[in-house]
Amino acid sequence: MPIRQLPPDVITKIAAGEVIERPASVVKELLENSIDAGSTRIDLELEQGGSELIRIVDDGCGIAPDELLLALAAHATSKLASAEDLFNVTTMGFRGEALASIAGIAKFTLQSRARGTEIGAEIRSDGGVIGPLKPWSGSPGTRIEVRHLFFNVPVRKKFLKTNASELGQICETLTRIALAHPHVHFTLRHNNRQVYDLPRSENLAERIGLFFGKEIRNALYEIDTPPGPYQLKGLIADPRCDRGNSKLQYLFVNGRWFRDRSLSYALMDAYRNLIMSGRHPIGFLFLTVPANEIDVNVHPTKAEVKFRENATVFSLIRAAVKERLLRENLVPRATMPAQPIAPPEMMPLPTLFMPSRPQPIADADDLGSQIITADTSDPQPPPPPLPMMFPTIPVGTAVQMHDAYLIQETPEGMLVIDQHALHERILFEQVRRRVRDGQLEVQRLLIPEPIELPAAQAAAVLEATAELAMLGLEVSDFGGNTILLSSYPTLLSRRPPHEILAGVVDYLVSKDRAPSPEVMLDHLLATMACKAAVKAGDKLTPAEIQHLLELRALAEESHHCPHGRPTTLLFSRQDLDRQFRRT
Ligand code: ADP
Ligand code: MG
């Protein structure tokens, strides 16, 4: 085929293809225009998932009659004047192509009356064929109707999904814009049925509640970093509201929704150890950065932006979220059974809070601790089963049940503590603190322990020699598939060293990509702590119980184990009273 200049209608369709993929893309462009016009109320009406009709009415600044025709022209905009402006965008739109594109692939009507003028005007386009300008006497603002979308692009029309699915995408589009503009009143009707009525509000949490329900609305923590060139405001949800996917993570910069995997990771990372792996936190994060610090022109539908200082934004998010979560006492609340349990098993309950009978102090060896020959001249006694690290503080007492749970009375109600999860958390923090301070006590083995591993595992361990050394696990190659373990952290001495290493190895080989050293260290610490902690089934002495409770009080985040499982459940006095029908 010879090279030819394409005719204008083909150019329009090609351009439209980039911006307008489906009804939701039209809705996005029109909503953004209404926002840019300073509207305080925006009404949307749809038929058949938007493919038959999209109507939007706003009360924004409107368009003067003599500019209506221009508004439909390609690359015509009131929002940019020069190329430099592209790096200082403060409006949602700036390319001047949306109305032209939409008008080219639908039956399009634009009616508008500029604020402060007596009469407006209207213009129509039938798949790009533009009709005459006519007077229009509606109220100030803009009214746009898009009918029979893609009527002249049948290929596109074929790719549309069910009405329900298209409507779903439109709702998501509206959600993103409405969350960023709580002071605007939005309504959405579909096939004559009201889907949303979101009254104007100054309060983001309220709007979140309207979209996502009370449960989330009542579990939000506010974030507001100090003023500066880069600022973060927003709301994050309690870890107990975690989700199976990351859909309820919304990122905005200067009022514009965007997606960014690395910044979602920053949010995720701040919840590390508070939610289980595979689960995702909920967050609504609003960044403010100087307009010239971002490039919003890197994606056809502006779904992505580029930050000049990506690392700064990453740390800002991670630090702010983490700091906020630390301030909360995140003991998960137990959901009580709806029906009171049949009385027979409950009868002995009154004796529950009697102090437990003293039990014989368990022998250190019974608890699985191994005697290690130290390489110092005066051999050290075996470490105590639970390392004593802190002065005794008053923390009350608890009783052990089923050799797995500790039950404790508190002013609020009753705590049920998972002894393994709690001890794991405590060991994790102790070792981590010491690793960070460079003060990890290491037990050197007089005779290094040879450990034979499957080939892949031996290779993985030797590859991670440096990280393992930071954790006090010194390994070297013994030839074949055998490695030599010559030291391990004293704090974890409750289990034989090869068992601790085994847990670490499992983690190392389960990763197909190398995580960052920090993430890896945390995982390895969690794994080691898990291996070394008391287990369900271990009988604890009263002294050990006491000691665990003391350590619990001193832990940074005693409410979840490093894998994100809760360590403690609270049965509040109120709930108990209610369940027994006392209130
Ligand atoms: P852009 O938003 O990138 O400028 P559009 O094609 O979406 O390009 O719109 C072209 C122009 O039409 C805008 O720059 C604006 O001046 C005007 N316009 C579009 N929609 C509205 C509206 N709802 N209210 C007021 N002016 C509008
Ligand atoms: Mg626009």
Q: What end-to-end distance do the CA atoms of the chain give, in Å?
A: 85
Collapsed DSSP state (helix, strand, coil) of residue 106: coil
Strands of 249-253's sheet in order across: 220-224, 231-237, 283-288, 249-253, 256-258
Distance CA 158, CA 169 (A): 17
Q: Which structure tokens are listed for 481? A: 């598939």
Distance 36 CA to ligand 2 centre (A): 8
* Amino acid sitting at position 442: V
Distance 33 CA to ligand 2 centre (A): 5
pTM of the entire predicted model: 0.66
Ligand 1, pocket-test mutation among 57, 77, 101, most atoms within 8 A of CB: 77
Per-residue pLDDT tens over the stretch 534-580? 888 899 988 889 889 888 888 877 778 887 788 888 888 888 888 88
Helix (H) or strand (E) holding 129: strand 129-130
Distance 111 CA to ligand 1 centre (A): 12
Q: How much is the pLDDT for 96? A: 85
Nearest CA to ligand 1 atom 18: 33
The 10 Å Cβ neighbour count of residue 304 is: 14
Distance CA 56, CA 189 (A): 11
Strands of 398-401's sheet in order across: 398-401, 405-409, 413-418, 568-572
Q: How much is the pLDDT for 332? A: 59
- Residue 60 CB less than 6 A away from ligand 1: yes
Q: How much is the pLDDT for 251? A: 97
- In this structure, which ligand is nearest to the CA of 77? 1
Per-residue pLDDT tens over the stretch 251-268? 999 999 999 989 999 999
Distance CA 400, CA 366 (A): 18
Tell me the β-bridge partners of 136. 120
State which residues of the chain have pLDDT below 70.
Answer: 16-18, 331-394, 509-517
Q: Which structure tokens are listed for 180? A: 């960023």
Among the listed residues 76, 79, 82, the one whose alpha carbon sits nearest the alpha carbon of residue 93: 79
Strands (E), 350-497: 398-401, 405-409, 413-418, 442-452, 474-477, 482-489
